[in-house]
Structure 1
Amino acid sequence: MELIITIFTIGIVAGGGIVWWVVKSAPKTGSRICARVRASCGMTEETPKPKKSEGLIQKQGKEKAQKLKELLKFIVEKKKVSNNEVEKFLKVSDATATRYLDELEKSGKIEQLGKGRSVYYIKK
């Protein structure tokens, strides 16, 4: 029984050592092997990686600008609006409605009146 435990322990130590050696000797990102792979695929250091998020960011920016225009038009039509009305109109969260209203207020397009729960917004 002691022999089995000893062999098992030696196996664990040897296996751990092998795993450590393989991980330590694996090619790093900047190694020559990785450079060869990139070169064989036609990717050089000058070749920029495609930015997938550029289209998404532009799309989100356009959507936000559109929603801000809709919101301003809504405020003009209703004369005064609350945060809850904006949430329902734009179908956005409370936090998003607050951000949109703050942005319009900071840009000088609307004005916040009232305090606490009775806050509402009007066109300047």
Structure 2
Amino acid sequence: MNNLIYFVFGVIVGGVVVFVLMRKQGNGSPKGRKLMEVQAEEKEIHIQKIMQHFAGQDKMTNEDVQNLLGVSDATATRYMDELEKEGLVRQVGTSGPNVYYEKIS
């Protein structure tokens, strides 16, 4: 009988812990979903700005993207990697300050 009580108590405590952690992270809440939607929309706007910027020039560097959008080096790199995977740009160079991206026509 004691084992059953401990088991039920453990399940209840575990459920409460999971519930609290999920709320803290925003998962499942309208605010959490809203934030993800806003971030996705912002990312799409940034990608569009990058492609519009390519209309006026043949190449861009990671630093150009950072200055254009006001984002970090890592974020600029992620954006350019995504555009490269989509076949919209091509990276020239492998690493360092000599790397730039060309728009694929």
Q: Common fold, TM-score beyond 0.5?
A: yes
1:108 corresponding residue in structure 2: 87
Deviation of 1:80 (Å) = 0.5
Of all paired residues, the percent bearing the same amino acid is 37
Deviation of 1:98 (Å) = 0.4
1:122 corresponding residue in structure 2: 102
Out of 31, 34, 54, the position equivalent to 1:75 is 54
Query: Normalising to structure 2: TM-score of the pair?
Result: 0.68
**5+ unaligned residues in a row in structure 2: which ranges?**
1-8, 17-27
**5+ unaligned residues in a row in structure 1: which ranges?**
1-26, 35-48
Deviation of 1:106 (Å) = 0.6
Out of 61, 66, 70, the position equivalent to 1:91 is 70
Deviation of 1:69 (Å) = 0.7
Partner Cα distance (1:68, 1:60) in 2: 12
Q: 1:112 to 1:50 in 2, by over 3 A?
A: closer
- Structure showing greater Rg: 1
Aligned length: 83
Partner Cα distance (1:109, 1:50) in 2: 35
Q: 1:50 to 1:119 in 2, by over 3 A?
A: closer
Per-residue Cα deviation, 1:66-103 (whole angstroms, up to 9, x for no partner) = 10011111123221011111100111000000000000
Partner Cα distance (1:91, 1:97) in 2: 9
